[in-house]
Structure 1
């Protein structure tokens, strides 16, 4: 099994863990982001309304799409990240920097690798999140879509591939900037842990992996939350003026939200994200690292580091 194949499989494991842990928090975040101002008094009011009116399973509404799609997305993220890291490590080795195998990447190298991973991921995450958000925000009593495949077919039939990729510009801005910081934070913490304790990557305790993943998650959302809110608004907006379209572009959305709802709208729904982030991102990196270690052992590799 090639190293890239192992990274992709391990990334899928991380993605599945992320969805199962984070989905209930995510639906609350999306409802708060996209609802008119004043709809909910806060996170608990939103969550309580969902539970009362739609039942406990509503917290996993639209989960099939992210379970399949986010698994692929996180697989792409880690596959692209590890591939980029290997390229930089090879360059470092040729230049005589970055340690014995050139694997101690610099901050700019990690930021570039993370941005590359985010943009690669955005090609898939854009439509996956669009469909998920449509399902999460549709009426419980009179839903327009029966499920993810029904949503994809109906949107494609009316709007083509452009309809599926609605909000893609905002998605790419979010993914590129967010994952640059996300992977930089995680890798820097891992580098520090290995240097301080003089251990290999596979010897880092799983609890530390969860902790570093949680910290990386907070760094991610500190950078991207306002962009994520704009993306959610655009992905729940009408497809045309006849459908009640409010925003013609990402910049138009920013201007209108700022003018009509004020700066507070850009952080609405932040509460469930702050609570969700350490669990979901800790689970993501734990799933990736543990799966990677297991795969490396199964193929009898001498080293279980991702290089």
Structure 2
């Protein structure tokens, strides 16, 4: 019989694959949001101006820069998230049973437990997602006319050679902060919606329909971005900053926050939000649907 962790990893991978297939057509919007986040104030008047400028100056293939990295890494990232989440939920379930809480089976977790489980899942995921997103954004913001890196593997090789493992993990403080805060909200929102559905409709988890899994996943995605978008902006700024010397603008994460606030104002922390909000419900709804369906299929193995 397959172990619970192996099943969680497999189901998480299924969720990641679903996220890639559904989210990929919307990744042009994600790409535009990164360009808008990291460009100097006033560079673009809005999303359409950003898209038009890139199309004119760099051609249509520019919209697909950096897509190989998430295709390679997203399955790993999502599988880690769900494996740690489900393992932590089982730990809290045992705690509830020993204390006579959480219903007859101990599975009705409190919001604090769900936030803690999600935050831990986010931190574990951040170990992989940090480098993946760093390489991706480096490729996305470079000019097509004079590219610094010829693909993700070339970027990894050059950054490792010049700056070591610390260069690959540039922006990791902001990444881990974002993942802990965001996934705490993300998984708490989803699990509370699922728990409420089970309670109100008097059904088992496996009886929750696919449509509701998608709906609750979409809602969880909005909870995620509502909490983390300003942190994501800071992460993007640091990960596109120079590594050393005069090319480096920010001395630390806190210095980045202060500098952006002072020079560009509060609006800089929400720049590029529109494309992200368009993509989010589709990608996150698909993620949870993929995980739930795979979990049900693996339940009897």
TM-score with structure 1 setting the length: 0.93
Work out the CA distance in 2 between the residues paired with 1:204 and 1:44.
Answer: 39
Distance apart, 1:54 and its partner CA: 4.2
Residue in 1 that maps onto 2:248: 245
Which of 255, 259, 263 is the aligned partner of 1:256?
A: 259
Matched, 1:201 2:202: no
Q: Work out whether residues 58 and 143 of structure 2, in 8 Å CA contact, stay in contact via their aligned partners in 1.
A: no
Change in CA separation of 1:12 and 1:53 when aligned onto 2, cut-off 3 Å: farther
Question: Per-residue deviation at 1:51?
Answer: 4.1
User: Aligned to 1:97, which of 101, 112, 118?
Assistant: 101
CA distance in structure 2 between the partners assigned to 1:263 and 1:87 by the alignment: 40
Query: What residue is the counterpart of 1:288 in the other structure?
Result: 291
The 3-state SS of whatever aligns with 2:131 is: helix
Partner deviation per Cα, 1:30-87 (whole Å, 9 max, x = no partner)? 1110111111111122233334544544433211111121211111111100000000
Gaps of at least 5 residues in structure 1 are: 300-307
Number of residue equivalences: 297
Q: State yes or no: 1:7 paired with 2:8.
A: yes
Q: Secondary structure at the match of 1:104?
A: coil
1:305 matched to which residue of 2? none
Distance 1:48 1:83 in 2: 46
Pairing of 1:1-307 with structure 2 (within 5 A): 1-20=2-21, 21=23, 22-242=26-246, 244-297=247-300, 299=301
Query: 5+ unaligned residues in a row in structure 2: which ranges?
Result: none
3-state DSSP of counterpart to 1:141: coil
Alpha-carbon separation, structure 1, partners of 2:81 and 2:111: 18
| 1:26 CA drift (Å) | 1.3
Deviation at 1:3, TM superposition (A): 1.2
TM-score, length-normalised on structure 2?
Answer: 0.95
How many Å separate the matches in 2 of 1:93 and 1:178? 28
Aligned CA RMSD, in angstroms, stands at 1.3
CA contact (8 A) 2:73 2:129 kept: yes
The alpha carbon displacement at 1:293 in A equals 1.6
Secondary structure, aligned partner of 2:299: helix
Q: 1:177 and 1:95 mapped to 2: Cα distance?
A: 28
Q: Is the 8 A contact 2:58 2:145 kept in 1?
A: no
